[in-house]
């Protein structure tokens, strides 16, 4: 039997990495096998991945030696950082560097770096249409990822740069679902006017990443953008109205109002949505759903995602 190619997956118990582990496990004849990296091999989520046939190993992106060990013998590595766990762009950049060095040390043949745009290429710090945050960023959780791309290139790691999109799952887990207004009607709020929002089912990110690993060297050194669809806020509200059987009204608010909502990360996300709105064409163009569908034929539309997940969206 030919040797199976190990794909070491950072964030395996989370959204992106979990989708990748499940995609590999669902394709047992493929020649690939998933190695799930977690800080706690005994957690229920880790055990569930082991049950699917994944090898589960300990590793922490803040501990380079543990990560180098977890990448040992792997053909591929899926690299993702966790901005919302610490809200620190500097930490995110340090973690990306750790992953790049660990991948190089282990001789990984193909890494995927889950990245986003460095928005400062479009909105330099002296452009005051949106505030500078944390001293030197416009959209910290984007800029840190984009700035980190070069860490993989400079380390000499054969890398595919995967541009991800807004998870529709944010409607469930990130407090972005519709909320009742004073009149009781559900309102879906985005500071994006009529601009389109490239979105994706979080589970499809890992499935697309699996397509990239299967595609192999043709994707090394390339940037691959993925989305399920590019609906506007009004189209998302209309889709939710159909799925929930209850009116959902789109409420476009100004980005400066969104930035002032006061929840942790509101300024970062306000700038992010403004960037989507003001650079709609540049943000949508690299995220072609046809590209994502070629990588992952099961790619979901927003309607399909809603049909499967509508009961999980909190409407409070
Ligand atoms: N939400 C969106 O719309 C969206 C869109 C595009 C990109 N993103 C980006 O996606 C990234 C997060 O990815 P995700 O959503 O897949 O994460 P997630 O679902 O929050 O999962 C994170 C997993 O990573 C693991 N983890 C956390 N800290 C770790 C560490 N120090 N070392 C090793 N593993 C660690 C945890 O596993 P264990 O506890 O098992 O170790 C956890 O299960 C963020 O940087 C965010 O900016 C989000």
pLDDT (tens digit per residue) in 126-161: 999 999 999 999 999 999 999 999 999 999 999 999
Q: Whose CA is nearest to atom 33 of ligand 1?
A: 60
The token pair at 316 is: 């409070």
CA of 80 to the centre of ligand 1 (A): 7
The protein residue whose alpha carbon is closest to atom 28 in ligand 1 is 82
The rounded Å distance from CA 14 to ligand 1 centre is: 6
* Pairs from 106-109 (Cβ < 8 Å, separation ≥ 24): 106/68, 106/71, 106/72, 106/73, 106/74, 106/77, 108/8, 108/71, 108/74, 108/75, 108/76, 108/77, 108/157, 108/158, 109/75, 109/76, 109/158
- Residue ranges around ligand 1 (CB below 6 Å): 11, 13-17, 38-40, 43, 46, 60-62, 80-85, 141, 164, 166-167, 170, 174
- Output the CA 126–ligand 1 centroid distance in Å: 31
Determine the atom of ligand 1 nearest the C-alpha atom of 61.
32
Q: Which of 82, 102, 113, when mutated, tests ligand 1's pocket best, judged by the most ligand atoms within 8 Å of its CB?
A: 82
| Cβ proximity of 75 and 26 under 8 Å | no
* Most ligand 1 atoms within 8 A of CB, residue of 8, 10, 14, 206 to mutate: 14
Q: What is the pLDDT of residue 2?
A: 62
Q: What would the mean pLDDT of 68-93 be, rounded to a whole number?
A: 98
Q: Which tokens hold the place of 147?
A: 């700035």
**What is the chain's mean pLDDT, rounded?**
97
Pocket test for ligand 1, best of 8, 9, 10, 11 (most atoms within 8 A of CB): 11
Contact assessment for residue 79 and residue 131, using Cβ atoms and an 8 Å cutoff:
no
Percent of the chain with pLDDT over 90: 98
Closest residue by Cα to atom 21, ligand 1, is 14
Q: What is the mean pLDDT of residues 24-53?
A: 97
Q: What is the pLDDT of residue 316?
A: 78
Closest to 152 in 3D by CA, of 202, 79, 234: 79
From residue 221, how far is each of 40, 102, 153, 162, 292 by CA, in Å? 32, 18, 8, 11, 18
The verdict on pTM exceeding 0.95 is: yes
Contacts of 190 (CB under 8 A, 6+ apart): 197, 233, 250, 251, 252, 253, 258, 273
pLDDT tens per residue across span 247-306: 999 999 999 999 999 999 999 999 999 999 999 999 999 999 999 999 999 999 999 999
Ligand 1 centroid–CA 56 distance in Å is 17
Atom of ligand 1 nearest to the CA of 164: 6
- Cα–Cα distance list, 169 to 65, 142, 163, 200, 298 (Å): 33, 19, 17, 8, 17
């Amino acid at each position: 039997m030919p040797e199976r190619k190990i794909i070491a997956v950072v964030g395996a118990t989370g959204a992106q990495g979990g989708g990748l582990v499940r995609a590999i496990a669902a394709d047992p004849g493929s020649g690939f096998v998933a190695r799930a990296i977690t800080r706690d091999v005994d957690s229920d989520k880790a055990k569930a991945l082991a049950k699917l046939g994944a090898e589960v190993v300990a590793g922490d992106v803040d501990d380079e030696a543990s990560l180098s060990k977890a990448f040992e013998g792997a053909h591929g590595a899926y690299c993702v950082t966790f901005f919302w766990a610490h809200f620190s762009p500097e930490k995110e950049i340090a973690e990306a560097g750790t992953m790049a060095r660990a991948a190089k040390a282990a001789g990984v043949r193909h890494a995927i770096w889950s990245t986003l745009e460095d928005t400062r290429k479009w909105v330099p710090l002296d452009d005051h249409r949106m505030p500078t945050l944390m001293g030197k960023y416009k959209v910290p959780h984007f800029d840190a990822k984009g700035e980190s791309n070069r860490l993989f290139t400079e380390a000499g790691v054969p890398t595919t740069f995967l541009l991800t999109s807004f998870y529709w799952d944010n409607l469930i887990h990130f407090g972005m679902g519709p909320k009742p207004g004073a009149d009781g009607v559900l309102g879906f709020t985005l500071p994006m006017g009529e601009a389109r929002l490239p979105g994706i089912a979080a589970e499809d990110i890992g499935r697309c990443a699996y397509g990239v690993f299967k595609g192999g060297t043709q994707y090394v050194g390339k940037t691959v953008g993925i989305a399920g669809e590019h609906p506007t806020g009004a189209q998302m509200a209309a889709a939710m109205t159909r799925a929930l059987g209850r009116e959902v009204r789109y409420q476009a608010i100004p980005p400066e109002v969104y930035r002032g909502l006061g929840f942790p990360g509101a300024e970062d996300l306000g700038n992010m949505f403004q960037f989507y709105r003001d650079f709609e064409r540049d943000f949508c163009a690299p995220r072609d759903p046809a590209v994502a569908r070629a990588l992952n034929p099961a790619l979901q539309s927003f309607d399909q995602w809603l049909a499967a997940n509508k009961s999980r969206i909190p409407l409070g």
